[in-house]
Amino acid sequence: MDTHDSIHTHILSNPSSNDLLVAARALQNGELVAIPTETVYGLGANGLDAEAMDKIYAAKGRPSDNPLILHVPSIDSIRPLVKAIPKTAYQLMETFWPGPLTITLPKSDLVPYRATGGLERVALRCPDHDICRQLLSLAGVPIAAPSANISGRPSPTTAQAVYEDMNGRILYIVDAGPCSIGVESTVVEVQEDAVIILRPGGITKEMLETVVSTVTYDKALSSDAKPKAPGMKYKHYAPDAPMTAFVGNAQDVAIAIDKYVHSLTRQQGEIVSHDFVHIAKACNVGYLLSKEVYEALQPTILTDVPVNCIHVYGHHGDAVSLAHDFYSALLSFNEAKVTHIIAEGVQPEGLGVAVMNRMEKASGGHIEYL
């Protein structure tokens, strides 16, 4: 957008301690800096400065009632930001911080409503990423940082992907290589000795249950109930092309995809033939698959599909690899300008719950459990 073109965006690759100091100063001065974390890249601003946070909403085109997460370098640094730290919340922090767990707690007066979308609770997280924590310590203020993408688009897991969306809109991108996890943090609300998961993420329900006996999902995750996490109501993570996903054993998924691709060719008015080269050319599909399903389809419908339209994430059912590769695969399909995306999902268990929550949104609910 031309309105943002006055800012020149620098990528700080292999950031030295001096680079981090420069980035920290920019944050203190109310500028935007994209920061690496273990989940996805964040679009950082001083979390105590309402005007600085306004810039986040403007750069992303983010709805103003969608609250931000404040990032801190340690448990101790949240004390001025909250009214109190309940025992259960403290236990969770001690167990899972630094890590992909965001906890909402009643905010102190120090935290502007701009950080919380007008809510009384503030969301807090300590990232498991050395460079990020060094930067947070140098900045000396909590850093508000939603994912560093334009709202609605897939989240960036590399500095290059941040640059694609944010060039001309922010001052610095701190490049620390690809994010290790690849999907956003788990967001929880702590109530006495129970925990409600508002958004599934890198810390699973099973992991939380090792610390707290009662862990439930917010009703809004599986129904149309009003979500406690306002951001969950918005369209998210969407690739440019419509996406359809399949979950099941590898053989069933391969059969279903083969059938689906034939139906796509028919819809496009092409003569149905068993000439697979013809099929690949007729529909410009991006495929996100496990090794097993890729191997099953390689001799048939994947013959002659260009390499930039195929992304193989790992073995069948490997939620960790799928989480790691998911957003970057969607972005590479955008670049390849595919007209359809076919993805193989995983069972919604463990980290699979977080990945399938993103896949559900990215596909507009077009997931077939076989």
- Footprint on this chain of Mg ion (rule: CB under 5 A): 146-147
Q: How far apart are CB 279 and ligand AMP at their closest, in Å?
A: 38
CA nearest neighbour of 76 among 11, 15, 124, 131: 124
- Binding span for ligand AMP by CB under 6 A among 117-125, 129-137, 255-263, 331-339: 117-125
The correct pick among 147, 265, 321, 332 for binding ligand AMP (CB under 6 A) is 147
What is the size of the binding site for ligand AMP (CB under 6 A)?
19
104 interacts with, out of ligand AMP, Mg ion, none, CB within 5 to 8 A per kind: ligand AMP
Confirm or reject binding of residue 38 to ligand AMP (CB under 6 A).
no
23-57 burial, b at 16+ Cβ within 10 Å, e below that, comes to bbebbeeebbbbbbbbbbbbbbbbbbbeebbebbb
The owner of tokens 């955008």 is: 334
| Pairing label, strands 69-71, 143-144 | antiparallel
Confirm or reject binding of residue 116 to ligand AMP (CB under 6 A).
yes
Q: Which is nearer to ligand AMP, 67 or 345 (CB)?
A: 67
CA nearest neighbour of 37 among 139, 159, 137: 159
Task: Please compute, for residue 284, the number of CA atoms within 13 A of its CA located in the half-sphere on the CB side.
Answer: 9
Q: How far apart are CB 117 and ligand AMP at their closest, in Å?
A: 7
Q: Which is nearer to Mg ion, 292 or 325 (CB)?
A: 325
What DSSP state is assigned to residue 39?
S
The correct pick among 10, 228, 262, 291 for binding ligand AMP (CB under 6 A) is 228
Q: Which is nearer to Mg ion, 81 or 229 (CB)?
A: 229
Residues 44-73, mask of contacts with ligand AMP (x by CB under 6 A): ----------------------xx-x----
Confirm or reject binding of residue 129 to ligand AMP (CB under 6 A).
no
CB 345 within 8 A of CB 317: no
Kindly list the distances between the CA atom of residue 243 and the CA atoms of 237, 277, 287, 366, in Å, as whole numbers in the listed order: 11, 22, 10, 7
Confirm or reject binding of residue 341 to ligand AMP (CB under 6 A).
no
198 interacts with, out of ligand AMP, Mg ion, none, CB within 5 to 8 A per kind: ligand AMP
What DSSP state is assigned to residue 149?
S
Length of the chain in terms of residues written: 370
Contact positions with ligand AMP (CB under 6 A) in 165-184: 184
CA nearest neighbour of 182 among 38, 312, 344: 38
Confirm or reject binding of residue 232 to ligand AMP (CB under 6 A).
yes
Give the integer Cα–Cα distance in Å for 122 and 43.
17
Q: Given the rule CB under 6 A, which residues bind ligand AMP?
A: 66-67, 69, 104, 116, 119, 121-123, 146-147, 184, 187, 198-199, 228-229, 231-232
